[in-house]
Amino acid sequence: MKNKRIIDEAEDIHRAVEMVQLGARMQMLEAETRLSREKLLKIYKEVRGVSPPKGMLPFSTDWFMTWQPNVHSSLFMSYYRFFEQCTGLVGLDAIIKSFHLYLDQIESGVLEPVLSLTRAWTLVRFFDADLLQLSTCTSCGGQFVAHAYEPNAHFVCGLCNMPSRAGKSVKAKQAPVKKTRVRELVTV
């Protein structure tokens, strides 16, 4: 019985190290592992070389509704739903695999990641709490993050109906947004 506990602790340590490498905040580490706060602090400091940031996690579904975070969140949720439905992965394992795919896709397109692992984890929790849902765009047919229980018969995504100031930042001028590539990925 004691060996099982050591193995469980080793798995939690491995999981915590991976989450810290991906940028997880302490609240996420505490919720997803059975390790003490002291051990998690030591792991965080050892992996990152600095103390973890302080403060509360964001708790608002509105962040996911602005056009750029919505596109990135929708891409992540497409990966997450794929892992859930086709591979049987659930929970944190599906979140981590989906986040790895998200990072691979974004970095291959020379874009800056908008979604952090903690935000992706929060996004899944919002879906589980029925605060958010995927709605189908009537223009392109892609599935995008939207508020739950809102009428979506005439839903148009942020890629089909981009705001006039979208992509006008300094970073966007350096790396133009590849609208069609992201739309293809969200549609899948």
Q: What are the tens digits of pLDDT across the range 105-133?
A: 988 887 889 999 999 999 999 999 999 99
Rounded Cα gap, residues 25 and 43, in angstroms: 12
Which position has the higher pLDDT, 185 or 89? 89
Which is nearest to 25 in space by CA: 62, 49, 1, 58? Answer: 58
Which position has the higher pLDDT, 95 or 1? 95
H runs (alpha helix) in the chain: 2-21, 26-32, 37-48, 67-82, 91-108, 117-128, 170-174, 179-187
Question: What average pLDDT is seen over the chain?
Answer: 86
* Residue that is written with structure tokens 């981009």 in the block: 162
**What residue ranges do the domains of the chain occupy?**
2-48, 61-187
**Structure confidence at residue 159 (pLDDT):** 87
